[in-house]
Structure 1
């Protein structure tokens, strides 16, 4: 697919940073295009749709799916163009200052400015390095938890020590009949409070252990027993399981950055306080960025997205204001507010 329409701004990435940035670009009356490499918008949140998110300001504890759905709905407020399943692999700027974006499919897109909001890059779950493991991926070997309920009354083993592994253990503890967590180190990388909660619960925590073997049922279609090895003593233990969840992190793909002459540091784009990169007209927001005072929260990504949108507006229209009016006073919401108020009144009557 190609789009010969020249957008004011193209946002590469449809995760939380990209979605909020699109909304704020709409507040600045920018003709906006979102391009996402995955089939659906939402970014990394797809990896934990049932995980509860607590740290978005003003939002009650919400599941990943709820947050994702709300972000997508908000991003669509001003009707940006949205293209999914399209991986941008090359961006170049011509002599007129116009950006040409090339996709892996051969699709070509044009934009006056670009905001990169690809998060941690294109993520691929780190697969279990045990021979034959892949044959169980269609049955009971999981790399993410899409539905907690499917593990009800099951014996579950979780391999990993990061936030997701700890959170899944805590969430599954009251649902599964048994939860065992194996981790290569005694220390866990999850949030301290959640780690403490796990250790004080009925979760069976085994360290320093690693999965070393998978034994299938008679038909060879599902894992029936798991072999774990103590990394200090080399002793092994075997456990019966109904399901195995592996959270060994993600492999990150940064092909786009490799094709741009951007200043980077440890696969992060260096930006200033206005989210400007070293390439004029190209901005960045979210987890892909690094700058002084960086806050690695979804709320931080929202602020960076708004700053990037404001910078785009002033880049394209040097006389424009530095920021949008707040939503309660922004004229772009006048008609929408009347519609909402009318619906509220009709419900009261």
Structure 2
């Protein structure tokens, strides 16, 4: 092991929390490595890259794909070492106090502290629980949407009751001829304002669920929905179906390395500390009493985790970085931007 191979902090996960942690750790002049299991940064945001994001502070509404671009640009401001296509399976603490991170490729990465920001882990979509559904997944049965254009002028059925289902209904209402939303519960698990707006622009059926698919060749052309309480059946003509029943998350083998877990998430303190000294957490993979599950909340988690990691390495270090307008590390970068 060479000294240059040892990092102050290694961030596991390249979603919003991990990327902002990489940026903020650079502000704190830490030597940073970021390890991401996929072939690109962005994490779970790529599953709805064409959706419009409204609730990130200080930026206008934009497509998620554009937000990813900005986050990546910010994350690489201080040239962290970025390792893609590598999943960290486990970690061990060495006799000298360092951590060794073990990847699925058999590599070892050495670090003085760790920030776990793996989001939802390896997320798998919850598919429609009907045997015949798989026959139509290559045609007009969708679990994620990459382009809204294909829905122009179509009769679209959306099944689901969370924020994603409601958001897609609002987005697709501008493209489609009609949008029908079915949810097996009477209440939606989504932002109240958006639910109210959706009910004004879409045909909302509750509590209903999809019970039968009628295909014409390799495409679905009719769907039977059934009232959960009365058993009443309704036949709908459809062109496209969007199933938004959420995801199941399989957090990596890190959970087996002594981390305290609660309902599949890493337990952390208000200072982003886990039960293992030197290991911190941020984003959707973590939980505490005041947790905010928004992209904006992931940024705050990242800041707290980095500050705690910095003080873990150097208890005499300031509790937080100076704001960017007063931080000397930006002085040269500002010259490049302003030309003076």
Aligning the two structures, in what range does the TM-score lie when normalised by the shorter sequence? over 0.9
1:308 to 281, 299, 305: 305
> Match of 1:55, SS?
coil
With 122-131 and 261-270 compared, the bigger mean Cα shift is at 261-270
Structure 1 counterpart of 2:169: 169
For the pair 1:209 / 2:208, whether they are aligned, the reply is yes
Map 1:50-199; keep pairs closer than 5 Å: 50-199=50-199
8 Å Cα contact 1:89/1:259 also seen in 2: no
8 Å Cα contact 2:152/2:177 also seen in 1: yes
1:256 shift after superposition:
2.8
1:258 shift after superposition:
2.8
- The root-mean-square deviation of aligned C-alpha atoms, in Å, is 1.7
Structure 2 counterpart of 1:340: 337
1:120-166 deviation digits (Å, cap 9, x = unpaired): 22211111111131232222111112211221111111110111111
1:85 shift after superposition:
2.1
With 17-26 and 147-156 compared, the bigger mean Cα shift is at 147-156
| Aligned mates of 2:27, 2:83 — CA distance in 1 | 20
1:49 shift after superposition:
1.6
> Match of 2:128, SS?
coil
For the pair 1:241 / 2:227, whether they are aligned, the reply is no
> Match of 1:328, SS?
helix
For the pair 1:5 / 2:2, whether they are aligned, the reply is no
| Aligned mates of 1:47, 1:110 — CA distance in 2 | 31
1:296 shift after superposition:
2.3
With 19-28 and 305-314 compared, the bigger mean Cα shift is at 305-314
Map 1:23-34; keep pairs closer than 5 Å: 23-34=23-34
Structure 2 counterpart of 1:266: 263
| Aligned mates of 1:165, 1:73 — CA distance in 2 | 30
With 227-236 and 67-76 compared, the bigger mean Cα shift is at 227-236
User: What's the TM-score once normalised by structure 2's chain length?
Assistant: 0.94
Structure 1 counterpart of 2:42: 42
1:235-270 deviation digits (Å, cap 9, x = unpaired): 322222111100001010113343221122222222
Structure 1 counterpart of 2:276: 279
Structure 1 counterpart of 2:220: 223
Structure 1: gaps spanning 5 or more residues: none
1:230 shift after superposition:
1.9
8 Å Cα contact 1:214/1:226 also seen in 2: yes
Distance verdict in 2 for CA 1:238–1:39, change over 3 Å: farther
Structure 1 counterpart of 2:20: 20
> Match of 2:19, SS?
helix
Structure 2 counterpart of 1:327: 324
8 Å Cα contact 2:91/2:254 also seen in 1: no
| Aligned mates of 2:8, 2:252 — CA distance in 1 | 24
1:78-102 deviation digits (Å, cap 9, x = unpaired): 1111122222111111221111111
With 26-35 and 228-237 compared, the bigger mean Cα shift is at 228-237
